[in-house]
Amino acid sequence: MFFAPLVLLGFPVPYVLAALGLNLFFQFWLHTELIGRLPGWVEYVFNTPTHHRIHHASNPEYLDCNYGGMLIVFDRLFGSFRAGVSGVPPRYGLTDPVRGHNPLRVEFHAWIGMFAALRRAHGPGAVLRVLFGPPGAVCPMPVRHIAVTRTTQTPVQRPAGVMGAGATAEQDGGGREWPRPD
């Protein structure tokens, strides 16, 4: 649908389909970890796999950046460009994970969250921040805390400092680690 106006403007259909194919090919190679850094001028002008990995990261320092589809120069111009921070590898995933496997919920969970934030917004400024601001700019979703009673949990025995990817835990007085629910 994005390329349909080009046909209405008079561009030949085969040219529009060729442009669509080239664009899809460009987007395909961006989603690989097999390609490292490219020469400096390429990294400065084009969106490369290095930049796109940062775009898909859920680390707080990498949120809301590197939006360019083909060119990264516009992100540099408008201040949304971020290079990778040494020692902080990108962590892929969602900042607000989808709970459940319902395909409709998976597809529309971000919209559901935005409409919930719109309902909680007070005043036109808050509504505009929800619609046009960065995620969580106003009326963030409430964090759900689940109470854990230690009588129903068995301690997780792990070596000190080994928690697994992204896991957190609490320690009781005996040095045992208890999983903390998200």
40: enclosing H helix or E strand: helix 40-45
DSSP code of residue 171: E
152: enclosing H helix or E strand: none
* Residues 53 and 37: beta-carbon distance below 8 Å: no
Rounded (10°) CA dihedral 150, 156, 160, 161: -90
> 66 CB contacts (<8 Å, ≥6 apart)?
47, 51, 52, 54, 55, 72, 75, 80, 81, 82
What integer pLDDT is reported at residue 72 of this predicted model?
A: 94
What is the band of 137 on the pLDDT scale with cuts at 50, 70, 90? low
Return the structure tokens found at 136.
């969580």
User: Which of the pair, 137 or 7, is modelled with greater confidence?
Assistant: 7
Residue 165 has pLDDT above 50, yes or no: no
What is the band of 138 on the pLDDT scale with cuts at 50, 70, 90? low
What is the band of 95 on the pLDDT scale with cuts at 50, 70, 90? confident
Rounded (10°) CA dihedral 133, 135, 141, 143: -140
> 73 CB contacts (<8 Å, ≥6 apart)?
44, 45
pTM > 0.75: yes or no: no
Residue pointed to by tokens 């796999």: 49
Return the structure tokens found at 62.
């990498």
Range name among 56-70, 112-126, 127-141, 153-167 with the lowest pLDDT average: 153-167
pLDDT tens digit string along 16-64?
999 999 988 998 889 888 998 899 899 999 999 999 999 999 998 898 8
